[in-house]
Structure formats: C-alpha cells, structure tokens
Amino acid sequence: MSSSPRPPEPRKRARELGLTFGSRPTGPHNAITDVPGVRVGQVTVWHGDGTEPIARTGVTAIVLDDPAALFARPMAAASAVLNGAGELTGAITIAEWGTLETPIMLTGTSSVGRVYDGAVDELYAAGADAVVIPVVGECDDSHLDEFRRRWVTAAHAREAIAKATTGPVAEGAIGAGSGMVTMGFKAGIGTASRHIPDFGTVGVLLLCNFGSRADLRISGRHIGPQLLEPTPATTTPPGGSCIGIVCTDIALDARQLRRVATRVGLGLARCGAVAHHGSGDIFCAVSTTNRRPRRAEGLASTELLGDGSIDAVFASVVDATEEAVCNSLFVADTVAGVDGTVIPGLPVDRVLQLLASNS
C-alpha cells in the first residue's frame, strides 16, 4: 500500500474563537482529562487517496486507571439511552452492578468486535482473573470509510490503551472520530470540562456523528438554514449516532450517575440534535470515587453528594456537552473518503459572521 495522506491539520476550538458555554469555569485543558486520573489514547487508521482502498477510522480509549487496578476495584457507573439504534457493549452489566471495570473504547460500527477482542487481550495481559466484559461504543463511519474491510484490529485497541495520556485531547478527525459526520459537516471527537468549586470536576468526551445541517444551532442561534448553500459535500442522511462519556471525581453513586448521563442529551439538543430514527445516542457516566474491591463483602459506608447539590453537576454536563459538540465541528476540517465523498469542514468564518450579526 502506498504512502497515505495524513488527516487534515486541526483548527481552533470554539472557545479560542470567542464562544462561551455557560458560566462555570473549565478545567486547565477543557477536556475530560481534567478529571484526575482520566487519560485518553487514540489510534487513527487513515490511508488511501481515491485510487486505493480508503480507511478513515480508528479507536479512542478512555482509561480511568491502570486496567488491572480498575478491574480489581471498579468505579461507580451508569448508562442512559436517548435513542437505541447503536451499541455500547457492557451496558447491561453496568446497569446490573452499577460499576465500570474496563477502559471505555470507541470505534466505528463494523470494528466493535475487534476492539472488544483487544480490550479483553489487554485485561488478561494485565492480570485480570475473571471473565472480562469490555465497554465498547460505536458510531457509523461508513460515509467516509470502506467499512467492510474492518481496518481496525485488536492490536490497534491495545495501542490506544497503551498511548493514553493526561493533558490536552486531540479532537475532530482523529481516532474513532476519523470518519464521523455531524450536522452535515466533518466532526468526530469533542471534549470539554467544568470545575464546580468545593465539589470537583466534570469532563465530557463525545464521539459525534449525528444530525441534519438544517437543524444546526450554535450558541443558541439556529444557523443551519443559512449554511445550506451548495457545497462539495455528498448529502448524508440525518441519523448517525453519538456516544457520550461523562467522568467526574465528584462522589456519586450509580443512581445519580444514570441521571447525570441522561443530561448529555440536553447538550446535544442545544446543537440541534433530535435523536433521529437511525441515531444511536447512548451515554455513560462514571465517578472515580468510592471504589471497592470487585469481590467486596459485608457492609460499607459511602459518602455521596447530596441530591440537593446535583443540579450543578447536571448544568455542567449540559454546558460541557454543548461545547464538546462545537469543538468537534470547529476543529475538524474537510475530509475526502470512499466513493468520492467529500465532507466539508464547518465554514468557521461564515459561522462567526452569522453569530455576530443581529439577523
């Protein structure tokens, strides 16, 4: 296979261009990695230029602890479904036990099985001493990727886990986001965070692949209809999917985390999402606190945030989700893929003009 074109260079994030989302401060990197201990690793599988088989896909791993340590001492977790035309493996176990015990993996729909295999391999190599049920979420990247070839391998999944780091998180057309489309424009990975004084930090990471261009809203402005002029893009149907991951170091239990996960849908709606018939909008929320051994017995006391204070967490999730969607759109640039399809990057200058106008 000949040398491959590289993904487009990233553009500026929404906040760097003057947009704001709510009043609460962000963490230092405005990313899910602002939650202590949370790391993100990404592997992009990208090759072909139209004369060869085209890969526009990859893997993104959210790693909350050393895999063996997380398996031995799981974290409280819960999932929520806005629209179920998608997959998050391990969600039934999360619902039953209220815990997460593996990294969270994201990829294209056709690669779920291979990423699942890679996560299992990684856990067994790390010393997991029981059956492993990994958490793998997917979105459909077939608009740009030759998905039948299933480029992603178990080795790519293990590499994404091994590469996971703290600090800034690359967004847009990278990792699992390489082939994703949102609101008719190129998108992919997006992330943001909020700090709640006296409580802790809330971080959101999204795999964005949803919506219709006509519905696009940014900063409360319905600008989609004004972006419908002819473009080089091949029309993509509404639908797609969004996997939303929330991490926090605030002490919450599974009941509270289910409510937190549900609020991701409100942030998507601010950007124009309506959970189309074919959209798999599935969310997972995890608290890094109050961990207990996997086989713990007997009584245990747990300190939790009172429900009377949880509105600050809800609002932070909604604001961070809205910003993460915008980051995904603002950072990604035009990408050419399979069958001559070209998905344009968001016309950022035009968007900023529309937001600045009074019309």
Query: What are the residue numbers of the active site?
Result: 241, 279, 281
- Give the Cα separation of 297 and 278 in Å (integer): 43
The helix (run of H) or strand (run of E) holding residue 260 is: helix 254-262
Q: Please, which residues have CB within 8 angstroms of residue 228's CB and are 6 or more apart in sequence? A: 213, 214
Reduced to 3 states, what is the DSSP secondary structure of residue 328? helix
Residues 285, 212, 358, CA angle at the centre, nearest 5°? Answer: 100
Closest CA relative to residue 115, chosen from 141, 88, 146, 142: 88
Q: Which amino acid is at 154?
A: A
- Residue 11, number of CB atoms within 10 A of its CB: 17
**Tokens 């057309």 found at:** 173
Reduced to 3 states, what is the DSSP secondary structure of residue 298? coil
Encoded tokens for 306:
């009172």
Strands (E), the chain: 39-47, 55-63, 75-84, 99-100, 104-108, 135-139, 181-182, 185-186, 189-196, 200-210, 217-218, 221-222, 240-248, 280-287, 335-336, 342-343
**Side-chain half-sphere CA neighbours of 24 within 13 A:** 26
Report H helices in 271-310. Answer: none
Cβ burial of 296 (10 Å; 0-12, 13-18, 19+) is: exposed
- Residue 340, number of CB atoms within 10 A of its CB: 9
